[in-house]
Each structure stands twice: as C-alpha cells, then as structure tokens.
Chain A
C-alpha cells in the first residue's frame, strides 16, 4: 500500500472559533524568542537595574544611615528612563524581523489564507513585542514598588504616592506602544531584518541629533517634538508630576507620540496584505 494511503484522514475534532489566530501567533512568537540564549542574556541585563534599585531600597529600609537612599516618586521615573535603553535593544532584537522575515519568506499569503484578518496578524505580531517590552518597563517598575512595600514592611510609601500606579502604567504604555508600533511599521517596509534594525536606530539617533542641533543653534528646547524620545521624556515628566524639562507644550509632545503611533498603524494597514500588487 502506498504510504500516502495510510496518512490522510478526515478531521472531526473541535475547531476554535474565528478571531483567535493572533493568540496562536503570539504564543509561537514568544516561545521562539525566549528559546534564544542571546535574548535571555539581554533580559538578564535589562533586569540588572531592577536588582540594583531593589538593593538600594533594601539598604535604605534596613540601615538608618542609608536612609538618604530611600526611594521617592521620581525614583520610578528615573528607573523607567534608564530602562529606555533596554526598550531600544529589545525592540530591535525582537521587533526587526517580526514582519520583515515573513515578507522575506512570503509568509504573509500563508497567514492571510488562514481564517485571520490583517488586523489580527498585526495584533499577533504587536503582542509579541508588547509583552517583551512590558517585561522590561512596566513589570520591573511595579515589582520595584512592591519590593519597596515588602522591605519597608508597610504600604505608607505606596499610599502617599498613589499616583505612581497610574503614572507607571501610563508612561510604560506610551513607551511600549510607541516603540512597538514604530518598529513593526518599519519591519513591514523591508524584507531584511538587519536593514529594519538600521532604519530604527537611524530614526532614533537622527531625530535626537536633529533636536539637539536645533537646540544648540536656537538655544531653545521648543523643537523637542521633532524627537520621539524627547517628546516621550516631556510626556513622562507631566505624567510623573515633575516640572517639564523642555519648552514644548506637553499637548504637542503627546500629539507627536499619538501621530507616530497612528502613522505606524496606517503603514501597517497598507503593507500587511496577502498579495503585493506592483502597478
């Protein structure tokens, strides 16, 4: 009997309803990333500042002489600022190939021939990057707040700074959404993940350099909206109730972030298609 006569049979089991494919994508994407040792090393580095801050909190809570190390509200802001570097590296490591590799392997037509819309495909890819970025921003910041309560043995600090909970959430969300949507949009523009990484780094450094050059020339910081990083910093200051560091109105900084996210989603909606039409 030919071997193919033994193989194929009808399927009579259960099928998940339409609209869940993105979860399958996200699960597979997360598993494939965490299987890489390089990435685990990067995550260890990304959590190192948390360990340092946790030690700082422990020492300040345990030893009277070190009480000057006790965390304040802006400690968490500083922590999230520091994590910005890891957001950059994780975004490049995880995000550069998310769509670019699928485009290189013509996988989009396979995905979209399944019961899945392009919006679900984008959501599935976005969720992969989102989860990893949350794990280096929101998660350690919240853990730090919890660590403070545990080492201090009371919730006094938390209740005195209750605004930290929404502030950490909101600022992390802005950081993560901006990085993930921008990277995903760039990833949809090329078939080479390396080129995407270069584009992302270029965008990051070029806009920062442009803003700093204008600041040097004009002596003003009202061009901070030109740099997504500076716009995010300005937004962070407002969210954490700190005096804004730049002269640009916070609403303009917020608008910059929103426009970038919206533009990225628009690019994604145009680029993620089952067929590439060249006219």
Chain B
C-alpha cells in the first residue's frame, strides 16, 4: 500500500501538526530496581520544546519511551495524537530521531546512508537520493557527502545524524543532546540549524539537553526534568519573566549569613564567582529592590552593587530543581 502526498513539495510555511505533539499521562519507567521516570505527566505543545534536566534526569528515557523502545511500567503516551502502545509504526513514520550516541550504518558514505534512511522511512529510491543530497547540503556536509561516515569527525557525525533524522521531512523531531562533543563553532552552527528548522521550516521538535543555553536559543517552551519527574514546564518567556525579578548583588560583610537570611525570606539565591550573587525576588515585591536594602540594613551589611538582571533559563532551572 502506498499513500501519496500532493505530488509536489509543500511550501515551508504549510502547517504541520498543530495540537500538542506529545502527551504523557502518569508515565513510569523502571530499569530493574531503578525507577527512571516517576509518574510523569506532561504536555509538549507544537513548536520547539526543550527537554531540560541534569544528566540522569530521565530525558533520554522519556524520548526512548516515546519512540516505543522502552515499554513503560504504567501510564499512557500520545505522539502526534497517536497512542505509542498501539500505533508505534505510524508514529515513527512521522517523526525523526537524532540519537545521543554515535550512530550510523557501517560501510556507507554519507549520501548512501541518508538516502538509505529515507528509503527505510518509505521514500522511493529516486526521491530518497535527491533529498539526501539536499539535506546534506542543508546540514553543511555537501562537500563531504561521498566520504565514508566512519572517517567523519565528531561534529560531522552529529550533522549526519541530524540529516538522517530530517531527510523524510518529519512532522516532529526528537533531538537527543545534539551538540554533544562539538567545538564552539560547530555547536553554534548546529544550534542555528535547529533554530532554523523550528522557526523557519516549521518542524516541531523536542530538544533534550542538559545545556541551558542550547535550549534557550532554540526553543520557545521548556519541560524541566529532575530525578525522573517533571519539575516545571511552560513557555520560556513566561517562566523567566512573570513571577518576580532577578537582581545581581554584591555586598560587604558576612556573605554566608546574608545569603541564609535571604533564603529565609523565601528568596532564591545563587552565589556566583567574583562575589556577585543572583537573588530572585518573587512576586510583586520583585519590582523594587527596596526589600534587599532593608534586609541589608537589618543585617548590617553594605550593599556595594545592585542591578536588576534579565532572568535566564538557568534561574528558571535552578528555581524549579531547587523547589523540588
């Protein structure tokens, strides 16, 4: 059986799947005695969503469960409105997966490999070869496309993994630590590509990473995971901006004591290098740093520097993980 598209390429801005791309309900995954995911309930909206968390938080386990590689102990998962338990192949036909570890088909050059992956996803041989060339140029491997993949550098291997994931034009991309092992220039280029895919090519994607700047640069939404649970989720802008303000602060006096006082008042404090601390003042009180001066006066410490700071995803992450 074959099914046919419109016979020609869709315009890039044609809408893909617009509803929530992934829905998990009470998902638990166990590896032996270790519970890797604990009762995870989350909704991933369309667009670019970052799956953020430290190593071992359960990000890759979640992606592999969504791919149907791991059978959960309990819970349900839906990807592009299809149940993972009952329609895994239909789902995999419409998604692309870029795994974290080095992966390739041995003995192939780049263009054969990518064309082969396209054929495995159902594209006819001629279309697969044509798209393989295009996609390899897109990811910046055009000049190296006839080289055996085993001779590629780490950065090139990351790009070829992205190429095989997008060659069949998926509606949803799973990217697992896509910048792992890349040099700064390569990393920036990879992030540009991911950003371009999500924002100009209209590809929904879930980017799993422990690197906050990567997620902040490429994604609009974030799901923060920690120790197998969802710590927080939502649009990055909303998580960063609405509930308070971050101040950079430098003081003279007993810093440790002052930090504990701040924390006692319910403020989130991150002590950084060079005596500068980042203090998150939640709620409406955050609009005015007066409260910080009052506390400093009470504790008899000198305030040497206070400056409102733009909250970063790091603050969101620290707060979310800290709250747990």
Beta-carbon contacts under 8 Å, B68-92 to A: 68-70, 89-90, 92
Interface: A110 (CB within 8 A): yes
Q: Is the pair B123, A13 in contact by a Cβ cutoff of 8 Å?
A: yes
Q: Is the pair B105, A4 in contact by a Cβ cutoff of 8 Å?
A: no
Which residues of B sit under 8 angstroms from A106, Cβ to Cβ? 99, 101-104
CB proximity of B158 to chain A, nearest CB, Å: 13
Q: Is the pair A32, B107 in contact by a Cβ cutoff of 8 Å?
A: yes
- Take A17-B2, A21-B120, A109-B103 as given contacts and tell me if A11 and B138 are in contact as well, using a CB distance cutoff of 8 Å: no
Interface: B272 (CB within 8 A): no
CA of A111 to CA of B89, assembled, Å: 12
- Take A10-B14, A11-B127, A115-B93 as given contacts and tell me if A105 and B106 are in contact as well, using a CB distance cutoff of 8 Å: yes
- Take A10-B14, A28-B116 as given contacts and tell me if A102 and B137 are in contact as well, using a CB distance cutoff of 8 Å: no
Q: Of B26-34, B179-187, B232-240, B277-285, which stretch is located at the interface?
A: B26-34
| Total count of chain A residues near the partner, CB < 8 A | 44
CA of A3 to CA of B2, assembled, Å: 33
Residue of B9, B31, B93, B96 touching A279 (CB-CB under 8 A): B31
Residue of A18, A21, A102, A115 touching B105 (CB-CB under 8 A): A102
Which residues of A sit under 8 angstroms from B168, Cβ to Cβ? 11, 15
- Take A4-B140, A11-B168, A13-B124 as given contacts and tell me if A115 and B89 are in contact as well, using a CB distance cutoff of 8 Å: yes
Q: Is the pair B103, A110 in contact by a Cβ cutoff of 8 Å?
A: yes
Which residues of B sit under 8 angstroms from A102, Cβ to Cβ? 105-106
Q: Is the pair B201, A8 in contact by a Cβ cutoff of 8 Å?
A: yes
Interface: B1 (CB within 8 A): yes
Q: Is the pair A107, B7 in contact by a Cβ cutoff of 8 Å?
A: no
CA of A171 to CA of B117, assembled, Å: 36
Q: Is the pair B105, A107 in contact by a Cβ cutoff of 8 Å?
A: yes
- Take A18-B93, A110-B105 as given contacts and tell me if A115 and B7 are in contact as well, using a CB distance cutoff of 8 Å: no
Q: Is the pair B69, A10 in contact by a Cβ cutoff of 8 Å?
A: no
CB proximity of A184 to chain B, nearest CB, Å: 16
Which residues of A sit under 8 angstroms from B192, Cβ to Cβ? 2, 4
CB proximity of B45 to chain A, nearest CB, Å: 21
CB closest residue in chain A, given B103: A106
Which residues of A sit under 8 angstroms from B2, Cβ to Cβ? 14-17
Which residues of A sit under 8 angstroms from B32, Cβ to Cβ? 279
Which residues of A sit under 8 angstroms from B120, Cβ to Cβ? 21, 24-25, 111, 114-116
Q: Is the pair A17, B1 in contact by a Cβ cutoff of 8 Å?
A: yes
Number of A-B residue pairs, CB cutoff 8 Å, is: 167
Which residues of A sit under 8 angstroms from B7, Cβ to Cβ? 12-13
Interface: A256 (CB within 8 A): no
CB closest residue in chain A, given B93: A115
Interface: A217 (CB within 8 A): no
- Take A10-B11, A11-B131, A101-B107 as given contacts and tell me if A275 and B64 are in contact as well, using a CB distance cutoff of 8 Å: yes
Q: Is the pair A115, B139 in contact by a Cβ cutoff of 8 Å?
A: no
Q: Is the pair B135, A114 in contact by a Cβ cutoff of 8 Å?
A: no
CA of A110 to CA of B116, assembled, Å: 11
CA of A273 to CA of B92, assembled, Å: 15
Q: Is the pair B3, A15 in contact by a Cβ cutoff of 8 Å?
A: yes
Beta-carbon contacts under 8 Å, B1-18 to A: 1-12, 14
Which of B3, B6, B122, B197 gathers most chain A CB within 10 Å?
B122
Q: Is the pair B92, A114 in contact by a Cβ cutoff of 8 Å?
A: yes
Interface: A6 (CB within 8 A): yes
- Take A7-B137, A114-B92 as given contacts and tell me if A109 and B142 are in contact as well, using a CB distance cutoff of 8 Å: no
Q: Could you give, for residues 116-155 of chain B, a 1 whenever the CB lies within 8 Å of some chain A CB and a 0 otherwise?
A: 1101111110010001001101111010000000000000
Which residues of A sit under 8 angstroms from B6, Cβ to Cβ? 12
Residue of B69, B116, B193 touching A275 (CB-CB under 8 A): B69
Q: Is the pair A110, B102 in contact by a Cβ cutoff of 8 Å?
A: no
CB closest residue in chain B, given A106: B103
Interface: A277 (CB within 8 A): yes
CA of A26 to CA of B120, assembled, Å: 11
Q: Is the pair B137, A6 in contact by a Cβ cutoff of 8 Å?
A: yes
Residue of B10, B69, B105 touching A274 (CB-CB under 8 A): B69
Q: Is the pair B9, A17 in contact by a Cβ cutoff of 8 Å?
A: no
Q: Could you give, for residues 68-102 of chain A, a 1 whenever the CB lies within 8 Å of some chain B CB and a 0 otherwise?
A: 00000000000000000000000000000100011
CA of A5 to CA of B192, assembled, Å: 11
Which residues of A sit under 8 angstroms from B204, Cβ to Cβ? none
CA of A232 to CA of B135, assembled, Å: 50
CB closest residue in chain B, given A18: B89
Interface: A199 (CB within 8 A): no
CB closest residue in chain B, given A12: B5
Beta-carbon contacts under 8 Å, B33-63 to A: 33-34
Which residues of A sit under 8 angstroms from B101, Cβ to Cβ? 106, 109
CA of A113 to CA of B69, assembled, Å: 8
CB proximity of A25 to chain B, nearest CB, Å: 7
CA of A16 to CA of B166, assembled, Å: 17
Q: Is the pair A15, B69 in contact by a Cβ cutoff of 8 Å?
A: no
Q: Is the pair B93, A4 in contact by a Cβ cutoff of 8 Å?
A: no
**Interface of B toward A, CB cutoff 8 Å:** 1-12, 14, 31-34, 64, 67-70, 89-90, 92-93, 95-97, 99, 101-107, 116-117, 119-124, 127, 131, 134-135, 137-140, 142, 164, 166, 168-169, 192-193, 196-197, 200-201
Q: Knowing that A6-B138, A106-B101 are A-B contacts, what are 9 other residue pairs whose CB atoms are under 8 Å apart, sorted by A's residue number?
A: A7-B139, A8-B196, A14-B4, A14-B124, A15-B3, A15-B4, A28-B116, A115-B122, A116-B120
Closest 9 CB pairs of A and B: A7-B138, A279-B32, A274-B69, A17-B1, A11-B169, A10-B10, A15-B122, A113-B97, A12-B5
